């Protein structure tokens, strides 16, 4: 399996199989529920090839992978055997109320996110085909495409019955049966078949017709197809009820009597009490969100649009997504997800400026695929891999997203169905009756303005070129006899105490590809660098993060402490040596503060490469832990 080794490494560094309660994935992340987060080695995971970054939020340990997260997830599940662990560990109930709420919502909606977005995209494009005259609503093609796109939304309670019941620790199929009863066609059609028996709560805002009774108790029939909150509340109580019956029913009768008793109690209870109350709550929630939006659409656009990426970073967006889905179900439109539309394109603009200005080869390699991902609404690779590490591109993306959100709010742009993000979200702005109206045009304006603004700000004020450029090193003239040094065999010891890694595994394209030389990498555990050979310092960068050495036997060695640490501009590095100075093997060359470098956001992985390797037969002495006395490279003349 392609990602088997990565899966093994991830499982190992989240604390092993026994530390994992559950794991799911969204568009870019593996979302772990760990028994003890202190057992996870975040530092190692952050440095791991194939992992973009690690985030802790909402009670989850999130390992950001990128676009191929689904494949990595399959490998992790296969490697860890997690698919068989359907139960929710009671330890998951720990944490503050906000964390528990976010964990609950993400656990319910994450498993269906991909198919939910796919269905929304299809609905959006179907509306576009009608708006431009390619299809008519009476066409069979339109009706079949609409069935494909709308089927999930119509029967959404059944899908949520499964995921919510599983999240609450009950039997998932029991949750589905509860939902099936709620959307049962014969019950949904009763209000259309005749006059009500009487009115309940007459003269109040909750006035409701009663068409049927259950054991003499009035039943308020609601439309539960496309609903969200009623089934989540019903399954919550169903899971508790099932657990109770599982404890008191004799083992010989459990197989059928536990689900039977649960259904006989919870389904009527849902029709009589839970369903109506949850439906009214849904309607109030939808009205409240629209009411807040109508108070000041522009301010709402600035806030929600501008801070969406921040919400995503901390997992807080899961508190808004269900509200949006509920809005589609109850009022047929939603302002929340519409206001965030511009953020993907703001990031595209910032990343485009980065790729033009940067001189860092690693950044140049990471940015193009991140741009493509952002166009299609997947922002994590660009946000975590490029914009956040460079800081200002992220800030300018937030600013441009806020401006785009303000434009969307000013023109009253709304979404009319759940769709994807990025370009896939555009069809959702097509008005069901007016088609391509002014608010749809506003979405295009917001997209263009956000992209251009982020580009201009990043290009001119991001400091990208200067920030990432390695300082030029002017080598002092050396004695002519040194230039004529005969190349001889050489033994190179480790300049650091730490853990040795393969060079091709490190998170730096230039070093990993061998373009700067062949050798090894060291993960130092001690902030002291010593000379691996006797010779001369041929290059010493002003930022002190890199040293070039020419050995007495002619080997040219480059030692680069950390990755991208040139941006520290010499902070946390100390040396008293000068370029051209004579050094002996084992002599201390410089010291550095590992903790401060890492807290500043930089990796301390240190490549040790031979730049004139083409003159040698190079042998790597493979090992794990090394000290200054450990031989890591043997050079033999050709």
Catalytic residue check, 442: no
Q: What percent of the chain has pLDDT over 90?
A: 34
Q: 26, 63, 108, 387: which one is catalytic? A: 26
The answer on 411 and 331 residing in a single domain is yes
- Whether 144 is in a domain gets the answer no
Task: State how far the Cα of 103 lies from the Cα of 107, in Å rounded to an integer.
Answer: 6
Task: State how far the Cα of 339 lies from the Cα of 494, in Å rounded to an integer.
Answer: 54
Q: What percent of the chain has pLDDT over 70?
A: 87
* pLDDT value for 92: 43
- Whether 273 is in a domain gets the answer yes
- Whether 204 is in a domain gets the answer no
Q: Check whether 522 has a pLDDT greater than 60.
A: yes
The answer on 71 and 53 residing in a single domain is yes
Least confident of 133-142, 376-385, 431-440: 376-385
- Whether 310 is in a domain gets the answer yes
The answer on 427 and 493 residing in a single domain is no
pLDDT band at 470 (very low <50, low <70, confident <90, very high): very low
Would you call 629 helix, strand, or coil by DSSP?
coil
The answer on 83 and 20 residing in a single domain is yes
pLDDT band at 293 (very low <50, low <70, confident <90, very high): confident
Better pLDDT: 629 or 382: 629
Angle between helices 343-357 and 438-461 (to 10 degrees): 30
Q: List the one residue out of 64, 126, 627, 130 whose CA is nearest residue 419.
A: 126
Q: What is the mean pLDDT of residues 314-333?
A: 74
The answer on 282 and 248 residing in a single domain is yes
Structural contact between residues 334 and 293, judged by C-beta atoms closer than 8 angstroms? no
pLDDT band at 452 (very low <50, low <70, confident <90, very high): very high
- Cβ-based neighbour number of residue 48 at 10 Å: 18
- Whether 78 is in a domain gets the answer yes
Strand ranges for 100-259 from DSSP E: 198-200, 208-210, 212-214, 217-219
Structural contact between residues 306 and 398, judged by C-beta atoms closer than 8 angstroms? yes
* pLDDT value for 441: 93
- Among 259, 292, 325, identify where a domain stops: 292
Structural contact between residues 561 and 546, judged by C-beta atoms closer than 8 angstroms? yes
Task: State how far the Cα of 466 lies from the Cα of 470, in Å rounded to an integer.
Answer: 9
The answer on 331 and 367 residing in a single domain is yes
* pLDDT value for 442: 94
Q: Tell me the CATH number at 69.
A: 3.30.1360.60
The answer on 341 and 308 residing in a single domain is yes
> How many domains does the chain contain in total?
4
Q: What DSSP string runs through 204-248?
A: STT-EEE-EEETTEEE-----TT--HHHHHHHHHHHHHHHHHHHH
Structural contact between residues 353 and 393, judged by C-beta atoms closer than 8 angstroms? yes
Task: State how far the Cα of 494 lies from the Cα of 620, in Å rounded to an integer.
Answer: 11
- Given 3-state DSSP classes, what are the helix, strand and coil percentages for the chain, each rounded to the nearest 5? 55, 15, 30
* pLDDT value for 70: 77
The answer on 279 and 319 residing in a single domain is no
Place of tokens 């501008």: 306
Q: What is the mean pLDDT of residues 535-556?
A: 86
What is the domain range of residue 242?
155-184+223-292
- Among 241, 273, 292, identify where a domain stops: 292
Better pLDDT: 577 or 362: 577
Better pLDDT: 565 or 521: 521
The answer on 455 and 325 residing in a single domain is yes
Structural contact between residues 335 and 297, judged by C-beta atoms closer than 8 angstroms? yes
Q: Tell me the CATH number at 520.
A: 2.70.70.10
The answer on 307 and 276 residing in a single domain is no
Better pLDDT: 442 or 330: 442
Q: List the one residue out of 116, 108, 102, 230 whose CA is nearest residue 169.
A: 108
Better pLDDT: 484 or 241: 241
- Whether 333 is in a domain gets the answer yes
The continuous run of DSSP H or E covering 583 comes out as strand 582-583
Strand partners, 546: 560
Better pLDDT: 376 or 98: 376
The answer on 501 and 423 residing in a single domain is no
pLDDT band at 317 (very low <50, low <70, confident <90, very high): low
Better pLDDT: 462 or 144: 144
- Among 49, 69, 94, identify where a domain stops: 94
Question: What distances in angstroms separate CA 419 from CA 276, 424, 482, one per listed residue?
Answer: 28, 7, 67
- Whether 148 is in a domain gets the answer no
The answer on 491 and 399 residing in a single domain is no
- Whether 630 is in a domain gets the answer yes
Q: What DSSP string runs through 174-195?
A: HHHHHHHHHT-HHHHTGGGTS-
């Amino acid at each position: 399996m392609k990602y088997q080794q990565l899966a093994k490494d991830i499982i190992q560094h989240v604390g092993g199989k026994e530390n994992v309660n559950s794991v799911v994935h969204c568009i870019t992340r593996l979302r772990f529920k760990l028994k003890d987060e202190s057992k996870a080695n975040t530092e190692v995971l952050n440095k791991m090839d194939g992992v973009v970054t690690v985030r802790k939020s909402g009670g989850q340990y999130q390992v950001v992978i990128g676009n191929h997260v689904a494949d990595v997830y399959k490998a992790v599940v296969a490697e860890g055997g997690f698919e068989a662990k359907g139960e929710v560990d009671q330890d998951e109930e720990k944490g503050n109320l906000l964390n528990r709420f976010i964990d609950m919502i993400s656990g319910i909606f994450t498993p269906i996110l991909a198919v939910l977005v796919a269905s929304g995209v299809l609905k959006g494009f179907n509306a576009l085909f009608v708006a431009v005259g390619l299809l008519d609503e009476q066409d069979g093609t339109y009706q079949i495409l609409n069935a494909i796109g709308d089927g999930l939304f119509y029967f959404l309670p059944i899908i949520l019955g499964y995921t919510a019941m599983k999240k609450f620790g009950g039997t998932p199929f029991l949750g589905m049966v509860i939902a099936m009863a709620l959307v049962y066609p014969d019950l949904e059609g009763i209000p259309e078949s005749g006059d009500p028996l009487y009115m309940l709560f007459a003269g109040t805002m909750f006035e409701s017709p009663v068409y049927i009774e259950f054991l003499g108790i009035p039943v308020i029939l609601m439309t539960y197809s496309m609903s969200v909150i009623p089934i989540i509340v019903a399954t919550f109580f169903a899971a508790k009820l099932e657990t109770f019956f599982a404890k008191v029913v004799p083992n010989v009768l459990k197989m059928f009597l536990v689900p039977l008793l649960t259904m006989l109690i919870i389904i009527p209870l849902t029709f009589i009490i839970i369903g109506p109350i949850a439906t009214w709550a849904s309607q109030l929630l939808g009205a409240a969100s629209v009411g807040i939006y109508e108070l000041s659409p522009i301010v709402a656009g600035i806030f929600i649009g501008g801070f969406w990426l921040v919400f995503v970073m901390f997992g807080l967006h899961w508190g808004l997504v269900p509200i949006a889905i509920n809005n589609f179900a109850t009022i047929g439109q939603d302002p929340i997800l519409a206001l965030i539309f511009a953020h993907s394109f703001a990031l595209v603009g910032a990343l485009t400026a980065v790729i033009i200005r940067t001189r860092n080869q690693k950044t140049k390699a990471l940015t193009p695929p991140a741009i493509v991902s952002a166009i299609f609404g997947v922002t994590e690779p660009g946000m975590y891999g490029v914009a956040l590490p460079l800081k200002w591109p992220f800030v300018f993306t937030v600013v441009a997203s806020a401006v785009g959100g303000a434009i969307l709010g000013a023109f009253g742009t709304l979404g009319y169905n759940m769709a994807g993000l990025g370009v896939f979200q555009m069809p959702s702005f097509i008005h069901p009756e007016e088609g391509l109206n002014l608010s749809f045009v506003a979405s295009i304006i917001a997209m263009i303005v956000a992209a251009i603004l982020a580009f201009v700000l990043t290009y001119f004020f991001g400091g990208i070129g200067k920030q990432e450029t390695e300082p030029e090193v002017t080598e002092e003239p050396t004695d002519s006899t040194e230039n004529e040094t005969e190349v001889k065999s050489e033994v190179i010891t480790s300049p650091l105490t730490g853990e040795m890694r393969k060079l091709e595994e490190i998170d730096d394209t230039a070093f990993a590809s061998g373009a700067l030389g062949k050798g090894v990498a060291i993960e130092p555990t001690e902030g002291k660098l010593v000379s691996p050979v006797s010779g001369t310092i041929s290059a010493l960068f002003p930022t002190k993060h890199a040293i070039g050495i020419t050995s007495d036997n002619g080997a040219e060695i480059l030692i680069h402490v950390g990755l991208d640490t040139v941006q520290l501009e010499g902070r946390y590095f100390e040396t008293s040596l000068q370029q051209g100075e004579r050094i002996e093997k084992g002599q201390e060359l410089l010291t550095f503060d590992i903790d401060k470098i890492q807290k500043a956001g930089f990796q301390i992985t240190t490549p040790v490469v031979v730049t004139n390797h083409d003159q040698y037969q190079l042998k790597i002495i493979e090992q794990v832990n090394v000290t200054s006395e450990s031989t890591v490279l043997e050079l033999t003349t050709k």
